[in-house]
Amino acid sequence: MPRVRTHLVTWDEIVEWSMNLARIIRENGYKPELVVAVSRGGFVPARLICDFLGVENLASIQSQHWTEAAKAEERAILKYPFKLDASGMRVLVVDDIVDTGETLRLARDYIRDNWSPLEVKTAALQWISPVAKYKPDYYYLEVKEWIWFQYPWTRLEDTYQFIKRMMSETYKETGKKEWSYKEIIDGFKEWYGIDVGDMYYREALRILLEKGIVKYDPGRDKYLLKV
């Protein structure tokens, strides 16, 4: 049993899910003139939705989770709250997944209140129904049990963070600081239940070295967690 339930999402799945999401929107009769990608996760789905619905206008807004200093709870913030004149336009705001829903709801509210659109609707490839405080107007997959979706566009970021987490938690539990490349790969597969492939493991280790989180000992061919 992996420690963190993770599903490795392939590019093919993204195309299939986006095409199905576009079909649901089309069948519902909604015809957006402007698609807005919620950056960064909504970029690829939004571009595909434009392709599948034949929409030429694509904008983006960056909404993301922010942990307030000294506060346990998280809230979403808009990074670049710019204004765009969308008067007379039907807008579709697209993200990859609705987890708590804060990110998509904030983007939707901001666009509705500041861009003067005719109408705003929201869409996501996936909606985690038991935890989400917000339900998008359109979604393709309802996720009934929380799981981490390892999307292709965050593969490197997730991989190095996952390796870092595995190494530091193992150190806390057992005092182990030294890892061979093979131990890292085997550990990763066991912890997360997925295999991202050699190219990503190598790149992730390069980043961990660059960030000074691990050190490489060429003599012993081992990666050392800096503690």
Judged by CB under 6 A, does residue 9 bind ligand AMP?
Answer: no
Q: How far is the CB of 227 from ligand AMP (least distance, A)?
A: 29
Q: How far is the CB of 188 from ligand AMP (least distance, A)?
A: 17
Among 22, 99, 138, 188, binds ligand AMP (CB under 6 A): 99
Q: How far is the CB of 208 from ligand AMP (least distance, A)?
A: 21
Residue 94: name the closest of 155, 139, 29, 57 by CA: 139
Burial bucket for residue 27 (CB in 10 Å: 0-12, 13-18, 19+): exposed
x/- site string to ligand AMP, residues 41 to 70, per CB under 6 A? Answer: x-----------------------x-----
Cα–Cα distance measured from residue 165 to residue 181, given in angstroms and rounded to the nearest whole number: 16
Cα–Cα distance measured from residue 189 to residue 120, given in angstroms and rounded to the nearest whole number: 41
From residue 130, give the alpha-carbon distance in Å to each of 4, 94, 112. 18, 20, 26
Size of the site for ligand AMP (CB under 6 A): 14
Residues within the interface to ligand AMP (CB under 6 A): 41, 65, 76, 95-103, 148-149
